[in-house]
Amino acid sequence: MKKNVVWWVGVNNPNHSEKFGGYEYLEYSRKSWEHWCKENNCKFVAFTEPVEKDLIKFRVNWQKAIFVFDELERRGIDYDQICLVDSSSMIKWNAPNFFEMTDRKFCGLRDTDNMKWTYQSIKGYENFFDFKLDTTKYINSGFIVFNESHKEFFKSFKDLYYDNVDTFVDLQDNIVKKGTEQTPFNYWLQKEGVDVKLDLPMGFKLTHMHRRSFFAYNWQLKDDMNPYFLKWGYIWFFNGFAKDQRSQVMKDVWESVKNNYCSNYSNIDDLLDTVEHKDTAKYTTSRKFKRDVLETFYNDEYKDATLLELGTSQGQSTRMLSHAFKHVYTVEWDDWNIDQAKLRCKGRENITFIKADLYGAEWSLPKTDVVFIDASHQYQHVLLDIENVAKHMDDPVYIFDDYGLPPGEVRKAILEKINDGTLKLSKLIGETPDQLVSAAGTKFIDQEGIICNLKE
């Protein structure tokens, strides 16, 4: 079956290592695109080994374009639409699927960042092509989308280069000195009359981000310190940086957002590595508790389900739960805890924080499919939590933390509601008393947690 393909260009060219400050950045770009492809049922294909070994006459930027169809066919890859993208980019984990926006046309993004550079490059190649280029349709060749109907165009572009390789090398190195294949590619698109769609959302083209203040944020919104590129962008291009900066900048961005790139329904251990557990942070659950929750809910059956968390604390479990459920509503009364949780959950856009006193006001919380009860551990409060959920929701699944916490008030309330038929025990989860290691030094008297009312 044919799939949409991302043709990711990540050749490590030793001739340009100093120019680019090394190639460490390739790792962060690749991880982001591999994740996006998996989430959108696309095939990720990496172009890492050049076809022509002479990287002076056949620069990587030329090879990425003139050999794309040859390489896909050589590797036996059935393709539908193809996105050619440079490795100086990262794609946001939940970026929309641009393949669904193409109208099956050739798609490009207008390049308007450095008009002087563009003008000089266009003028430099004008005599060779003997053609008047429409500058309003000039595109960036670092992100283009096309399909099999454009195969002949790419073949002709390849023939053009092989027929004039020495001339092109002289133009780009000694005469024009403005780029490699981008301007010739634009000339050839227009000369060959290719219909180019130019109206993909601007969020797909965040280039020269440091010059356009995309790393800043609105300081007036005290509860929202997300930088503009995270809020507005879908693809982030790290071009224009000094040669010794790009890898470090991309690394810093990756470290701040990498938790969002844990693919759904797999890599549970990778996801668990992104949060703390009870052995080092006393106000959260154990690693086994979180694993048991993920193994129960981190699947297709619950991917569209919502969850209400009673007791946010500092957001360790909140962040973990946001990967398993479509949306998480989390309730906390303490301002400091909320601030800490928001920092810990930075970048997770499917979490709603609610400040409320569960025991001092009338219940007015959203209905959800699953409820995680981990607020007060007093018997009367746990009882009230269960009764409020049962009264205001339509038979949700219950997750309880601290079932075995001494002196046993949580367990007492749960067992009472199991006995009266409100709850039905599904399974015990988390660590047993003899295995549980708590940073607080607390010795449990029963299993760490329990799940009730799972649908059969």
Q: Which residues of 277-306 are buried (b: 16+ CB within 10 A; e: fewer)?
A: bbeebebbbbbbbbbbbbebbbeeebeebb
Average pLDDT (251-258) is 86
Co-location of 55 and 137 in the same domain: yes
Predicted local distance difference test score (pLDDT) of residue 405: 94
> 194, 225, 259 — which closes off a domain?
259
What is the C-alpha to C-alpha distance for residues 247 and 17, in angstroms, rounded to an integer?
Answer: 11
| pLDDT for residue 265 | 44
67: containing domain: 3-259
The answer, yes or no, to whether residue 412 has pLDDT greater than 90, is: yes
Kindly tell me if the per-residue pLDDT of 220 is higher than 70.
no
Same domain assignment for residues 396 and 416: yes
Phi-psi region of 453 (alpha: psi -120 to 50; beta: other; left: phi over 0): left
**Which region among 199-213, 322-336, 425-439 has the lowest average model confidence (pLDDT)?**
199-213
Domains identified in the chain, total number: 2
CATH code of the domain in which 297 resides: 3.40.50.150
Q: What is the pLDDT of residues 29-45, one digit of tens each?
A: 999 999 999 889 899 99
Average pLDDT, stretch 124-134? 96
The residues pairing with 79 across neighbouring beta strands, listed in sequence order, are: 3
Task: Clarify whether residues 255 and 108 are in a common domain.
Answer: yes
Q: Among 114-128, 138-152, 230-244, which stretch is predicted with the lowest mean pLDDT? A: 230-244
CB 214 within 8 A of CB 183: no
Domain end among 215, 238, 259: 259
| pLDDT for position 262 | 64
Is the same domain home to 249 and 161? yes
pLDDT-derived band at 17, boundaries 50, 70, 90? low
201 and 303, same domain (yes or no): no
Element (H, E) at 117: helix 115-129
Kindly report the average pLDDT of the chain as a whole number. Answer: 90
- Tell which of 259, 292, 310 closes a domain: 259
* pTM higher than 0.85: no
Q: Whole-angstrom Cα distance, residue 456 to residue 454?
A: 6
Same domain, yes or no, for 287 and 150?
A: no
Asked if 36 and 94 sit in the same domain, the reply is yes
